[in-house]
């Protein structure tokens, strides 16, 4: 092979190897959401096969089909990494003078540690050892990564499942507070807000470290981490605005924990949001819906603040912090039709503008 062409082939092969190793390392070991073109390409490519499922009108059939999307994409990732490493090292072997067929066999033998080919020289032998180490290292990382993913998913779903007891299925903030009002439990909510604040902190850490968790669906079709988050945030906003329970710092802190978590997860997906919204910015909830919620809570025996206009302004001032990002997550995940979230999901299209980060 001509020397200039050999250098070019070697550079391309080395570039593929470096990009693949960085993609695997950042996906499996770096504890922060880093946009990676290989990972994104795999999820988008696998997603094309699920495009017909997204158009199914029957939600249960759509949910059943989409439940396979995230796990299948995640399992395709290591296959793509291995294939790219095989191609990258094969190009380097070609640049060192081997034929295409021999280079592919040499690369595959080394990557999978089969040992069916003996390297012809010191330079190729070093490459063989490096490729074998990368192959074994990738497998070792996957062995530790997949249980970690499942552990994070399991912790998330325990709380989502528990919410059904209080908020129904699909969950509703009005149903949650109404049920508590009937059993005189509204004054005992501080522990609830504290528990869900920890949950929001946990999903922020896990879903930023492993963004594919966002797309993992709940075991039951009428449950979703998105609708659960929306229910808890709406309940905290109603308590902080419409109910006459006095100032509830734990509810307000839960609200802040929730909308910051959603925004920081949204940064990976480049979702647009206003990180400093005005209290009077429009939201997806109409005043009539808010008044109906107040009436339902009054019927359940909850004490309401007398000034309905002030209560609406306060509620809208809280909801505006998470309204858009919550509904975009509902659209991204095709969440079930839950009040004030999945029933008005926004289609998400990646914007051309730079991302806006949460403060």
Q: Which residue has the tokens 């009054």?
A: 298
Judged against a pLDDT cut of 70, whether residue 77 lies above it is answered with yes
8 Å CB contact between 227 and 175: no
Instruction: Report the pLDDT averaged over residues 296-306.
Output: 94
pLDDT at 2: 67
Does the residue 115 lie in any domain?
Answer: yes
pLDDT at 359: 37
8 Å CB contact between 109 and 116: yes
30 falls in which pLDDT band (50, 70, 90)? low
- 319 in the same domain as 187: yes
Beta bridge partner(s), residue 304 = 243
Judged against a pLDDT cut of 50, whether residue 257 lies above it is answered with yes
pLDDT at 122: 74
Q: What is the mean pLDDT of the chain?
A: 88
Residue-wise pLDDT for 150-194, tens only, equals: 899 999 999 999 999 999 999 999 999 999 999 999 988 999 999
Does the residue 150 lie in any domain?
Answer: no
pTM: 0.84
8 Å CB contact between 317 and 310: no
Instruction: Report the pLDDT averaged over residues 201-219.
Output: 91
- 3-class DSSP state for residue 25? helix
- 317 in the same domain as 186: yes
Q: Give the rounded percent of residues in the chain with a pLDDT score beyond 90.
A: 53
Total domains in the fold of the chain = 2
8 Å CB contact between 32 and 208: yes
Q: Which residue has the tokens 């059939």?
A: 61
More confident residue, 243 or 188: 243
Range of the domain at 17: 3-142
- 176 in the same domain as 138: no
pLDDT at 127: 83
Residues with Cβ within 8 Å of residue 91, at least 6 apart in sequence: 9, 10, 12, 13, 16, 103
The residue from 142, 177, 198 where one domain ends is 142
Judged against a pLDDT cut of 80, whether residue 227 lies above it is answered with yes
- 185 in the same domain as 125: no
- 85 in the same domain as 207: no
More confident residue, 31 or 305: 305
Q: Tell me which residue of 325, 207, 233, 211 sits closest to 273, measured CA to CA.
A: 325
pLDDT at 348: 60
Judged against a pLDDT cut of 80, whether residue 234 lies above it is answered with yes
- 176 in the same domain as 119: no
Judged against a pLDDT cut of 80, whether residue 71 lies above it is answered with yes
Does the residue 181 lie in any domain?
Answer: yes
Residue-wise pLDDT for 330-350, tens only, equals: 999 999 999 999 999 987 654
Alpha carbon distance 288, 292 (integer Å): 6
Which of 136-140, 160-164, 199-203 is predicted least confidently? 136-140
Does the residue 333 lie in any domain?
Answer: yes
- 321 in the same domain as 284: yes
H-assigned helices in 168-301 = 173-182, 190-209, 225-241, 249-268, 287-299
Judged against a pLDDT cut of 90, whether residue 352 lies above it is answered with no
pLDDT at 243: 95
- 217 in the same domain as 330: yes
- 249 in the same domain as 207: yes
37 falls in which pLDDT band (50, 70, 90)? confident
Judged against a pLDDT cut of 60, whether residue 356 lies above it is answered with no
Q: Tell me which residue of 229, 212, 115 sits closest to 170, measured CA to CA.
A: 229
Alpha carbon distance 77, 134 (integer Å): 15
Does the residue 148 lie in any domain?
Answer: no
Instruction: Report the pLDDT averaged over residues 203-213.
Output: 89
> CB count, 10 Å around CB of 264?
19
The residue from 142, 158, 179 where one domain ends is 142
Does the residue 178 lie in any domain?
Answer: yes
Rg over alpha carbons for the chain, rounded to the nearest Å, is 26
Write down how long the chain is: 359
Residues with Cβ within 8 Å of residue 22, at least 6 apart in sequence: 36
- 213 in the same domain as 138: no
Judged against a pLDDT cut of 50, whether residue 354 lies above it is answered with no
Instruction: Report the pLDDT averaged over residues 219-237.
Output: 96
């Amino acid at each position: 092979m001509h020397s200039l062409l050999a250098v070019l082939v070697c550079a391309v092969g080395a570039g593929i190897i470096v990009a693949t190793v960085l993609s695997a390392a950042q996906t499996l070991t770096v504890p922060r959401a880093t946009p990676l073109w290989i990972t994104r390409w795999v999820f988008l490519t696998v997603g094309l096969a699920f495009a017909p499922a997204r158009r199914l009108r029957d939600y249960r059939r759509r949910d059943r089909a989409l439940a396979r999307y995230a796990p299948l994409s995640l399992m395709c990732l290591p296959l793509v990494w291995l294939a790219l490493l095989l191609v990258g090292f094969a190009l380097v072997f070609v640049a060192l003078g081997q034929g295409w067929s021999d280079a592919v066999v040499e690369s595959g033998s080394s990557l999978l540690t089969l040992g069916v080919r003996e390297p012809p020289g010191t330079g190729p032998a070093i490459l063989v050892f490096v490729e074998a180490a990368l192959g074994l290292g990738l497998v070792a990382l996957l062995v530790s990564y997949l249980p970690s993913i499942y552990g994070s998913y399991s912790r998330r779903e325990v709380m989502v499942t528990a919410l059904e007891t209080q908020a129904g299925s699909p969950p509703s903030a009005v149903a949650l507070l109404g049920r508590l009002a009937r059993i005189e439990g509204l004054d005992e909510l501080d522990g609830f807000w504290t528990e869900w604040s920890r949950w929001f902190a946990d999903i922020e850490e896990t879903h930023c470290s492993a963004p594919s968790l966002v797309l993992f669906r709940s075991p039951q079709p009428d449950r979703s981490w998105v609708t659960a988050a929306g229910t808890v945030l709406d309940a905290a906003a109603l308590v902080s605005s419409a109910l006459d329970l006095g100032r509830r710092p734990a509810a307000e802190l839960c609200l802040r924990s929730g909308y910051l978590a959603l925004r920081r997860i949204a940064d990976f997906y480049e979702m647009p949001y206003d990180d400093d919204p005005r209290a009077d910015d429009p939201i997806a909830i109409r005043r009539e819906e808010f008044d109906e919620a107040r009436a339902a809570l009054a019927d359940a025996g909850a004490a309401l603040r007398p000034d309905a206009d002030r209560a609406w302004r306060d509620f809208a001032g809280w909801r505006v912090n998470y309204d858009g990002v919550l509904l975009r997550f509902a659209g991204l995940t095709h969440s079930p039709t839950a009040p004030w979230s999945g029933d008005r999901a926004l289609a998400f299209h990646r914007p051309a503008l730079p991302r806006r980060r949460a403060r």
